[in-house]
């Protein structure tokens, strides 16, 4: 399988000058490319981090364990790219320059790319083409970018635990995500269970949190909320993600052992959803199909009609579906969280907007 993946590679990043730093996390750095072949992708390069799997291993896990669980259009496209000799070393020099200038997040300073890694990953870019900043939404893990041109909004958020923890007590009032927020004194009206509830009122409640009043576009925040609500109510993406979380964790984390199933479950509970809403002018066929309804999927595209003259396309992809740490450290951490939630009564204590209605 590994050799098959390597044999398929037809792309190469040969010049570090073609890459522009975009963002980074604990394990990877993302770059935009000015090479016309790769402008619809971000280039993801691996950092030198202890116990971090190789780039080829990440792709092998994606193909064998993640991709088969979802429809193709539910997950961002990813493919391997070869990285030429010296490219990573040159990029590390630029990271060091960012450290010295103070233009790099302080908690990332001092980390560098792995100069022994010969491959990177081309990741379908779901970010906005606007140069407007990504703004964090208070009380959530969400980021939003407003584009003044075609793209009305790009929303990034973590769906988190769409199904209650198997280790929660039978008389639980709060889902695992909301119980953890309560324990950490983090206020938010976004409850993951809303996304798969099928209830318009519940979906609208969480959408108000994900699409706050501070978002200002020509369409207006109410229109964006209506588009987002219709998408969440009709898409199969979140139901599929919830099913993966359920099927891959049959026991709960207390009884779990380190195997691919529990690692996939935890990956599915920590992935990121990229939701891109754009205004559009549909052709006559699409308009006819949307008569009397608000949501259709045609030719691989999703269309939402808000009123007679307002049409939007919506694209949503899941990302950050990398395999979790196999050493057992993560499992021990998850178990400690569950123990604290149960021992502290955070699943059951209180009556402030319970998740279980």
Tens-place pLDDT, residues 136-182: 555 455 555 656 555 678 888 999 999 999 999 999 999 999 999 99
For the ranges 7-11, 56-60, 241-245, 257-261, the lowest mean pLDDT is seen at 7-11
Binning pLDDT at 50, 70 and 90, where does residue 272 land?
very high
| Most trustworthy range by pLDDT among 206-210, 227-231, 304-308 | 227-231
| Residues 6+ positions from 180 with CB-CB distance below 8 Å | 337, 341, 346
Exposed e or buried b per residue across 39-62, where buried means at least 16 C-beta atoms within 10 angstroms of its C-beta = eebbbbbbbeeeebbebbebbbbb
User: Could you tell me which of 357, 314, 69 has the C-alpha nearest to residue 197?
Assistant: 357
**Distance between the two ends of the chain, CA-based, in angstroms?**
47
Return the pLDDT at 128: 54
- Mean pLDDT in residue range 1-25: 84
Spatial separation of the C-alpha atoms in residues 71 and 223, rounded to whole Å: 28
Return the pLDDT at 216: 62
**In this predicted model, which residue has the larger pLDDT, 326 or 294?**
294
Burial status of residue 274 (CB atoms within 10 A of its CB: 0-12, 13-18, 19 or more): buried
Return the pLDDT at 130: 46
238 token code pair: 């979140």
Spatial separation of the C-alpha atoms in residues 231 and 101, rounded to whole Å: 43
Question: By three-state DSSP, how is residue 274 classified?
Answer: strand
Q: Is the distance from CB of 228 to CB of 148 less than 8 angstroms? A: no
For the ranges 35-49, 205-219, 281-295, the lowest mean pLDDT is seen at 205-219
135 token code pair: 């703004």
Q: Where in the chain is the domain with CATH 3.30.200.110?
A: 2-124
Residue-wise pLDDT tens digits, 100-113: 999 999 999 999 99
- Mean pLDDT in residue range 25-31: 92
Q: Is the distance from CB of 160 to CB of 188 less than 8 angstroms? A: no
Spatial separation of the C-alpha atoms in residues 123 and 120, rounded to whole Å: 9
Return the pLDDT at 352: 84
Pick the CATH number of 2-124 from 3.30.200.110, 3.40.50.360, 3.20.20.480, 3.20.20.70: 3.30.200.110
Average pLDDT of the chain is 89
Radius of gyration of the chain measured on its C-alpha atoms = 21
Q: Is the pLDDT of residue 24 over 50?
A: yes
């Amino acid at each position: 399988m590994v050799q098959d993946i390597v044999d398929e590679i037809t792309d190469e990043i040969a010049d570090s000058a073609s890459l522009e730093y975009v963002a980074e996390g604990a394990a990877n750095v993302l770059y935009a490319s000015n090479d016309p072949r790769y402008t619809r992708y971000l280039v993801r390069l691996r950092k030198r981090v202890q116990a971090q799997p190789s780039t080829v291993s990440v792709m092998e896990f994606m193909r064998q364990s993640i991709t088969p669980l979802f429809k193709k259009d539910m997950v961002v496209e990813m493919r391997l790219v070869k990285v030429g000799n010296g490219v990573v070393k040159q990029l590390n020099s630029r990271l060091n320059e960012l450290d010295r200038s103070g233009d790099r997040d302080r908690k990332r300073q001092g980390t560098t790319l792995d100069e022994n890694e010969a491959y990177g990953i081309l990741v379908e870019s779901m970010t906005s083409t606007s140069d407007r900043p990504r703004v964090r939404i208070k009380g959530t893990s969400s980021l939003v970018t407003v584009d003044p041109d075609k793209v009305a909004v790009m929303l990034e958020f973590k769906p988190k635990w769409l199904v209650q923890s198997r280790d929660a007590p039978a008389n639980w009032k709060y889902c695992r995500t909301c119980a953890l927020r309560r324990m950490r004194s983090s206020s938010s009206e976004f409850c993951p269970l809303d996304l798969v509830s099928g209830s318009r009122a519940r979906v609208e409640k969480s959408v108000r949190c994900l699409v706050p009043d501070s978002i200002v576009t020509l369409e207006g925040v109410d229109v964006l909320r209506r588009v987002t609500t219709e998408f969440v109510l009709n898409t199969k993406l979140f139901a599929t993600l919830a099913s993966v979380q359920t099927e891959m964790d049959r026991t709960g984390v207390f009884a779990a052992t380190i195997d691919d199933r529990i690692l996939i479950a935890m990956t599915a509970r920590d992935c990121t959803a990229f939701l891109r809403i754009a205004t559009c002018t549909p052709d006559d066929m699409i308009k006819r199909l949307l008569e009397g309804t608000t949501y259709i999927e045609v030719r691989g595209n999703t269309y939402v009609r808000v009123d007679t003259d307002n049409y939007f396309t919506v694209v949503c992809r899941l990302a950050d579906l990398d395999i979790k740490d196999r050493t057992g450290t993560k499992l021990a951490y998850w178990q400690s969280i569950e123990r604290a939630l149960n021992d502290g009564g955070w699943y059951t204590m209180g009556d402030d907007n319970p998740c279980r209605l």
